Amino acid sequence: MVDVAPGVQLWAEEIPGPTPDAEPLLLVMGANASGLAWPDALLDRLAERHRVIRYDHRDTGRSTYAFDDAPYAVRDLAGDALAVLDAFGIERAHVVGMSMGGTLVQLLLLDHPDRLLTATVLCTAALGAYGDPELPGPDPALLRLWGEFTDDRDLEGELAWRVEHWRLLNGTGTPFDAAGFRALEERVVAHSGRADNPAAHAAAGTEGLDRGAELAGVAVPTLVIEAPEDPVNPPPHSGHLARALGAGRLVRVQGMGHALNPTVVEPVAAAVLAHTREYAPL
């Protein structure tokens, strides 16, 4: 458990790498999602080269649920990522962020580049992009479902809601494994010890995120993984972000939506490992 604020702790886990001195890699998950959303198969592949760290954001998983009593902004969660590195004694790491996690990684690139060896972001948008009328917003079906985040549901109803959410996030470019995502959410409920829908990040403040113009100064090698079937941040969001970054490049995972299903784990892992290997410290 990692202390990040008075009375606030985060659950974090290390998956050992091939050697004690393997380069560390921090995984930063998206909004309202436990660190368990990173598939075990992906962790195993990344651990072939790296010491892998994953964690639960505030108000998810086993971490402290305190938003109602002590509200915070999305940008505060970037500081939490640094606190996790500090807790494991890691000075610099490769960092991978998905969705909101990609937003947090962009903030780390701007404010703490000295802590990052490389960065990888996927299924995300550039800082400030949501104010750009030239870029598309999320699928209306998702927006309707998000309006139900905090509705009262029993356990079975909550699991069914989450599976439907994953179905929409997955998109139609790759097969959707309803049983697999239900099993994931059953593990998340068991891990969390609660079945209510974690929705704090949907209410967290978004001030301080309109910093897209600063991305051109980023010098840390950054890989942007494009998910062409992403219903949250569809193309051309990834291309826009890669072009905005001073050291960005784009790789597409064909058919991928806004979910790490078994079909896309291997190409995502291969892209991340190729990136971290190319820019490994001398």
Cβ contacts of residue 179 below 8 Å, gap of 6+?
Answer: none
Asked if 67 and 58 touch (Cβ cutoff 8 Å), the reply is: yes
258 in catalytic set: yes
57 in catalytic set: no
Using only C-alpha atoms, the chain has a radius of gyration, in whole angstroms, of 17
34 in catalytic set: no
73 bridge partner residues: 205
Of 99, 201, 238, 275, which residue is the catalytic one?
99
CA distances to 68, 82, 114, 181, 231 from 91, rounded to whole Å, are 33, 9, 9, 35, 35
Asked if 170 and 176 touch (Cβ cutoff 8 Å), the reply is: yes
- Long-range contacts made by residues 144-151, C-beta under 8 angstroms, separation at least 24? 146/202, 149/32, 149/197, 149/199, 149/202, 150/197, 150/199, 151/197
Read off the tokens for 230: 């992403």
Using a 10 angstrom Cβ sphere, with 0-12 exposed, 13-18 middle and 19 or more buried, the burial of residue 5 is middle
Of 34, 230, 237, 240, which residue is the catalytic one?
230
Of 141, 100, 107, the residue nearest 124 (C-alpha): 100
Is-cis flag, bond preceding 267, omega within 30? no
Q: Which phi and psi angles does 5 have, rounded to 5°? A: -160, 165
Of 50, 240, 258, 275, which residue is the catalytic one?
258
- Active site residues per annotation: 99, 230, 258
